[in-house]
Amino acid sequence: MENLPAFLAEEFALNTNQTFFITGKAGTGKTTLLKKIMALGDKKTVVVAPTGVAAINAGGVTIHSLFGFPLKAFVPTLEPTDANLANNIPMLVSHLKYRKDKKNLLEKLQRLIIDEISMVRSDMLDAIDTKKTLP
């Protein structure tokens, strides 16, 4: 019976398009479950993490690497911002220049798995969300 929650999470991940979080203490098998979902799933999936170490452990890349985000903070506004402190939407758009293969990957992406989500700054989620709505 102890594998039931993992089984339900696996089934949910493989058979829905819903956003969900997998939580648990260290060593409970979250990354193992993530890798199983990757192996069994038929959706175009990318795994990202906020740090290089977490990305390597999860078999993915960093959020900044996948999306090509600048290292400064992001403010989801059209209002002017101090370029030394943060990027706004127009600044982010002007920074995002994708090669054809990266653009193709992002356009066909069906599932984004973010490992170590608790370490991700809220502005990174705003930037991902903003990127999703850009042409």
Question: If pLDDT is split at 50, 70 and 90, which confidence band does 101 have?
Answer: very high
Contact, 33 vs 58, CB < 8 A? no
State the Cα–Cα distance between residues 86 and 75, nearest whole angstrom. Answer: 7
* Span 11-39, pLDDT tens digits: 888 888 888 888 888 888 888 888 888 88
State the Cα–Cα distance between residues 97 and 88, nearest whole angstrom. Answer: 16
Query: Over pLDDT 90: what percentage of the chain?
Result: 44
State the Cα–Cα distance between residues 129 and 135, nearest whole angstrom. Answer: 13
pLDDT at 133 over 70: no
* Span 33-91, pLDDT tens digits: 888 888 887 888 899 999 999 999 888 999 999 999 999 999 999 999 999 999 999 99
Give the burial class of 84: count Cβ atoms within 10 A of its Cβ; 0-12 exposed, 13-18 middle, 19 or more buried. Answer: exposed
Partnered with residue 74 across adjacent β-strands are: 87
Average pLDDT (91-102) is: 91
pLDDT at 1 over 50: no
